[in-house]
Amino acid sequence: MRDVVARFRRATERAWGATGAPGLSAAIVERDGATEPHCLGFADPDTGVPMRPATRLLSGSIGKTYVAALVLDLVRESVLDLDDRVSRHLGAREWFERLPNAETLTLRYLLRHESGLARYVFRPALWKSLVEDPDRVRSPEELVGLVLDEPALFPAGEGWAYSDTNYLVVGMIVEQATGARFYDLARERLLAPLGLEDTIPSDSRRIPGVAQGSIVRHRDLGLPARTLQDGEFTFCNHFEWCGGGWASTAVDLARWITALAAGDVVPEPHLAQMLDAVPSPPLGDGARYGLGLTLWDSPAGAVIGHEGTMPGFLAVTGFAPALQLGVAVMLNSDDCGDYPRMSVLLLDVLRSLETQPTRGER
């Protein structure tokens, strides 16, 4: 692995320079479990605390991979069916008929962002509330309520539009079907068996070991320049739930995507269902979206993973089957500088690992 590690370190150092972020946490994981972290810069640029492998950062929408994997685990046990109508599970709730496409929604449409439900996330009134009242717990029903009575973006199954709202609805279905909390299920069924102890719910304004985030692109939401004040988030960071909802490390993310994409979490034939993807142009040239997973093209073949963003943080993780390598890169900034998005950074790093080492690297 020595040659790969040397190229990985150089590639992440170049990438970090192009982002302008205060700090970068990255990791590479081989299929046999060999792991190499690489950290650069500062976890807190104001106090000079360096970025370390154990530093946690918000991982944003990468949390959708846990939701989808959990659903497929429940499908494997015949607790759920991907083609279940959502009305079977939530139809008795008084608000359900006001949900766009209510009667034609299925679990598969929700997980693959084919539901036609609009995003609730970037609404100015919501963010005003998240800043002014950061401790209040907002239920999934309250957040889904922001899109009730709105016209659908398209008939269910006849278009594609990324929407965190989908995963809030899925989370409600999972909890109703199992009678358990989503976070508890994810810990017991997915994370604990893999030993991913540094991945914890972002369900409180105070998260142990979390980096100070630098808010750049999301300042238009009325947020300050830094995510933390006296160790607490300056906004309600725990509203994401099943749309994201976790803090993690690059090592844990790389280990997770390696295990998931290699079939160690969701075995065949259910993994094939996760990888059954449709075109998703907004996620990059040639990108396709499956069930909680994005597939990007690279010279060595498809890369399987997901991106994540939260104010002050960006993350991406991916597994390259042709290389049998998992990679994760996390920034404590929501601006990736010269890169148009984090998946481009990931593919840039992977491209360097596809290159044969020079004589000096051997």
What pLDDT score does 300 carry? 73
Angle at 222 between CA 217 and CA 227, to 5 degrees: 65
* Peptide bond just before 269 cis, omega within 30 deg: yes
What pLDDT score does 360 carry? 42
What pLDDT score does 301 carry? 85
Task: Give the Cα separation of 62 and 257 in Å (integer).
Answer: 10
Show the tokens assigned to 215. 């808010």
Q: Which residues pair with 228 in a beta bridge?
A: 233
State the CB neighbour count (10 A cutoff) for residue 114: 24
Residues near 13 by beta carbon (within 8 Å), at least 6 away in sequence: 40
Q: In what order do the strands lie in the sheet with 246-248?
A: 57-58, 246-248, 200-201
**CATH superfamily of the 2-361 domain:** DD-peptidase/beta-lactamase superfamily (3.40.710.10)
Show the tokens assigned to 168. 């809030």
Give the percent of the chain with pLDDT over 70: 98
Task: Flag residues of the chain having pLDDT under 70.
Answer: 1, 355-362
Kindly list the distances between the CA atom of residue 85 and the CA atoms of 81, 115, 156, in Å, as whole numbers in the listed order.
9, 12, 11
Q: Where are the domains of the chain?
A: 2-361
